[in-house]
């Protein structure tokens, strides 16, 4: 008798092993998980806003925004604390701060359209 | 175009979601609207009750919020219909609101009617409501052996349930180690053990193998403590009676005189109410001589969804319901088989397998994706 077993026998043994290892509880849990994943996938793919966000996330600008956010959070940790009217005037004089305020103003204008 | 879906069970939910997907453009533009009226804000997976009755599922697994299963574009209200005025295309709800429609879909379902047979409700276990399924499980837990009779009324919901509960009872008694103290007797109203002949031909030898005795042409007439008497003048004594009771349609269908027994006369292919071109009926609510099963409602909802969307978009329906039904049959001992059939093709159940039992076990948890119209 050959010690080699056919591919069909291997598949049969694998299925037999999988069958013996599974319990109703395991199958029920897997079924539950597949159900939730399907519903999540359905919600995501049918939600135009999420699809827009996903599309945006692939652009270079989006990566740049994420980098900028990360860098800003990091630099804020080491930034000297400035307070009072003098400090505020100094911050307001920064061209980057002025650009940021203009951007926020534009967003506000769009939201109110 | 206003589409009104009355009933938030399996059929109504799958249909409303199917329509919302197909008519997403029209709904966004506001040229169409879908409203659903239901009696409850909870959705129950009714086939799970069979499993609750024998301790294989918990009741918490049977429910989800109806709103969470519906497409956001569907206008959902818990406000059941009390009056149908089909000549004026409107309904009146319990809260007194009058709602007009262009297309009406009725999917109010059916209910057990054990009270229709004297003594049945008082003397038998059943599993068609959460309370009944739990009560049956508690009664089984206290049962220590004796004669168990399974008796079925017609028409009834879920064609395979008399067989499934019988096979599950064997499993249950074996698991408790009292199978050798149980004498299980199966009765059925027609001249074989199941209404579908190929299913009966498969099931009878399975009963023989397990030592389950059976008696056909047994239509329950009356139940007294310890004894069920048939219309055919035979009787079966029992220590425990398990019944699949006869069913009837919902009270609101009877009150509005839409169909005898609460079942609405329905065209078998177009699924419109007879004599009403803009009223459609699906699921247990129809009077069609096919299985009152979840899968029937599912396949009808898919055919109807395609047709109503085509009516809205093109003015003409595009397909007919072919009578397709797919029913799993739990055969006990961790195995299952299935019966698939339609108006032209009878079922042909094969030997049960573990794989099909797992498929059914997984589907019991995947039903919610089905209700959302995904699978």
At B265-323, the pLDDT tens digits run 999 999 999 999 999 999 999 999 888 999 999 999 999 999 999 999 999 999 999 99
| CA angle (B69 as vertex; B62, B20 as ends), nearest 5 | 145
Which own/partner contact pairs does B23-28 have at CB distance under 8 Å and 24+ positions apart?
Answer: B23/B309, B23/B312, B23/B313, B24/B73, B26/B1, B26/B312, B26/B313, B27/B73, B28/B73
Q: Mean pLDDT in chain B?
A: 96
Residue numbers of the domain that contains A102? 83-113
CA nearest to A40 within chain B: B369
A50 and A30 within one domain: yes
Q: Is the pLDDT of residue A78 over 80?
A: no
A111 and A72 within one domain: no
A69 and A30 within one domain: yes
pLDDT value, residue A3: 60
B contacts of A38 (beta carbons < 8 Å): 366, 369, 374-375
Q: Is the pLDDT of residue A90 over 90?
A: no
pLDDT value, residue A70: 87
Asked if the bond preceding B367 is cis, omega within 30° of 0, the reply is: no
Q: What is the dihedral of CA A3, A7, A13, A14, to 10 degrees?
A: 130
Tell me, yes or no, whether A62 lies in a domain. yes
Q: Is the pLDDT of residue B47 over 70?
A: yes
A93 and A113 within one domain: yes
Tell me, yes or no, whether A73 lies in a domain. yes
pLDDT value, residue A50: 86
| In contact, B55 and B133? CB cutoff 8 Å | no
A94 and A44 within one domain: no
Outline where B117-196 has alpha helix (H): 120-123, 130-142, 161-175
Mean pLDDT for A56-76 is 85
A62 and A32 within one domain: yes
pLDDT band at A112 (very low <50, low <70, confident <90, very high): confident
pLDDT value, residue B166: 98
pLDDT band at A59 (very low <50, low <70, confident <90, very high): confident
Q: Is the pLDDT of residue B49 over 90?
A: yes
Among B11, B83, B76, residue whose Cα is nearest residue B37 = B76
The partner residue sitting opposite A42, judged by closest CB among B334, B358, B372, is B372
Question: What is the phi/psi pair of residue A101, to 5°?
Answer: -65, -40
- The predicted-structure confidence for B67-90, as pLDDT tens digits, reads as follows 999 999 999 999 999 999 999 999
Q: Determine what percent of chain A is predicted with pLDDT higher than 90.
A: 10
Q: Is the pLDDT of residue A1 over 60?
A: no
Among B356, B363, B291, residue whose Cα is nearest residue B325 = B291
Based on its alpha-carbon atoms, the radius of gyration of chain A, rounded to whole angstroms, reads: 29
Tell me, yes or no, whether A2 lies in a domain. no
When scoring A15, A21, A28, A45 by the number of chain B Cβ atoms within 10 A, the one with the most, hence best to mutate, is A28
d(CA B294, CA B301): 10
Q: Determine what percent of chain B is predicted with pLDDT higher than 90.
A: 98
pLDDT band at A73 (very low <50, low <70, confident <90, very high): confident
Shortest distance, CA A72 to any CA of chain B (angstroms): 38
Q: Is the pLDDT of residue A80 over 80?
A: no
The partner residue sitting opposite B365, judged by closest CB among A19, A31, A46, is A31
Please name the residues between 315 and 334 in chain B that touch chain A, using a CB distance below 8 Å: 334
Shortest distance, CA A32 to any CA of chain B (angstroms): 5
pLDDT band at A75 (very low <50, low <70, confident <90, very high): confident
Tell me, yes or no, whether A44 lies in a domain. yes
A75 and A41 within one domain: yes
Shortest distance, CA B60 to any CA of chain A (angstroms): 13
Residues of A with CB under 8 A from a CB of B: 19, 22, 24, 27-32, 34-35, 38-39, 42, 46
Based on its alpha-carbon atoms, the radius of gyration of chain B, rounded to whole angstroms, reads: 21
Write out the DSSP string of B232-266. TS-EEE-SEEEEE--EEE-HHHHHTT-SGGG-B-B
A90 and A35 within one domain: no
| In contact, B58 and B52? CB cutoff 8 Å | yes
A43 and A17 within one domain: yes
The answer to whether the Cβ–Cβ distance between A24 and B334 falls below 8 Å is yes
A75 and A87 within one domain: no
A43 and A75 within one domain: yes
Tell me, yes or no, whether A42 lies in a domain. yes
Signed CA dihedral, A77, A81, A83, A86: sign only = negative
A69 and A89 within one domain: no
Give the H or E element holding residue B105. Answer: strand B103-106
Tell me, yes or no, whether A87 lies in a domain. yes
- The predicted-structure confidence for B95-123, as pLDDT tens digits, reads as follows 999 999 999 999 999 999 999 999 999 99
pLDDT value, residue A12: 84
Q: Mean pLDDT in chain A?
A: 84
Residue B169 burial class via C-beta count within 10 angstroms: exposed 0-12, middle 13-18, buried 19 and up: buried
- The predicted-structure confidence for B151-161, as pLDDT tens digits, reads as follows 999 999 999 99
The answer to whether the Cβ–Cβ distance between A28 and B372 falls below 8 Å is no
Give the H or E element holding residue A17. Answer: helix A7-21
Q: Which domains does chain B have, with CATH numbers?
A: 2-109+250-314 (3.50.50.60), 114-247 (3.50.50.60)
Q: Is the pLDDT of residue A89 over 90?
A: no
How many domains is chain A partitioned into structurally?
A: 2
The partner residue sitting opposite A31, judged by closest CB among B21, B357, B364, is B364
pLDDT value, residue A82: 66
- The predicted-structure confidence for B167-215, as pLDDT tens digits, reads as follows 999 999 999 999 999 999 999 999 999 999 999 999 999 999 999 999 9
- The predicted-structure confidence for B124-164, as pLDDT tens digits, reads as follows 999 999 999 999 999 999 999 999 999 999 999 999 999 99
Tell me, yes or no, whether A15 lies in a domain. yes
Q: Determine what percent of chain A is predicted with pLDDT higher than 70.
A: 95
């Amino acid at each position: 008798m050959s010690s080699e077993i056919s591919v069909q026998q291997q598949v049969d043994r694998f299925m037999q092993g999988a069958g013996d290892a599974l319990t109703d509880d395991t199958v029920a849990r897997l079924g539950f998980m597949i159900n939730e994943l399907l519903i999540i996938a359905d919600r995501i793919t049918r939600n135009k806003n999420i699809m827009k966000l996903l599309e945006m996330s692939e652009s270079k600008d989006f990566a740049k925004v994420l980098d900028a956010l990360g860098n800003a959070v990091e630099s804020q940790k080491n930034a000297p604390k400035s307070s009072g009217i003098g400090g505020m005037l100094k911050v307001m004089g920064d061209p980057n701060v002025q650009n940021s305020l203009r951007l926020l103003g534009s967003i506000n204008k769009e939201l109110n359209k | 175009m206003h589409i009104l879906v009355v009933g938030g069970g399996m059929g109504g939910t799958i249909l409303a979601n199917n329509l919302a997907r197909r008519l997403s453009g029209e709904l966004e533009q506001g040229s169409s609207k879908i409203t659903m009226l239901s009696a409850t804000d909870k959705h129950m997976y009714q086939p799970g009750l069979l499993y609750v009755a024998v301790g294989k599922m918990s009741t918490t697994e049977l429910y989800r919020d109806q709103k969470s299963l519906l497409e956001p574009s569907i206008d959902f209200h818990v406000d059941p219909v009390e009056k149908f005025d089909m000549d004026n295309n409107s309904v009146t709800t319990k809260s007194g609101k009058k709602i007009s429609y262009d297309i009406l879909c009725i999917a109010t379902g059916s209910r057990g009617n054990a009270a229709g047979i004297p003594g049945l409700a008082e003397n038998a276990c059943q599993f068609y409501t959460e309370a009944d399924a739990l009560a049956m499980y508690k009664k089984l837990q206290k049962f220590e052996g004796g004669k168990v009779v399974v008796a079925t009324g017609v028409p009834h919901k879920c064609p395979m349930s008399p067989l499934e509960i019988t096979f599950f009872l064997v499993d249950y008694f074996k698991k408790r180690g009292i199978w050798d103290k149980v004498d299980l007797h199966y009765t059925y109203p027609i001249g074989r053990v199941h209404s579908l002949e190929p299913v009966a031909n498969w099931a009878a030898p399975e009963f023989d193998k397990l030592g389950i005795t059976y008696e056909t042409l047994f239509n329950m007439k009356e139940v007294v403590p310890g004894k069920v008497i048939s219309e055919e003048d035979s009787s079966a004594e029992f220590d425990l009676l398990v019944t699949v009771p006869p069913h009837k349609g919902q009270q609101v269908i009877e009150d509005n005189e839409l169909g005898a027994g609460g079942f609405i006369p329905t065209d078998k292919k177009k699924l419109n109410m007879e004599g009403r071109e803009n009223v459609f009926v699906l699921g247990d609510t129809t009077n069609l001589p096919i299985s009152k099963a979840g899968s029937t409602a599912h396949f009808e909802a898919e055919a109807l969804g395609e047709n109503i969307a085509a009516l809205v978009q093109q003015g003409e329906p595009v397909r007919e319901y072919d009578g397709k039904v797919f029913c799993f049959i739990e055969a006990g001992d961790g195995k299952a088989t299935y019966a698939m059939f339609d108006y032209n093709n009878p079922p042909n159940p094969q030997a049960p397998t573990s794989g099909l039992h797992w498929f059914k076990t997984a589907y019991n948890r995947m039903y919610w994706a089905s209700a959302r119209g995904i699978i």
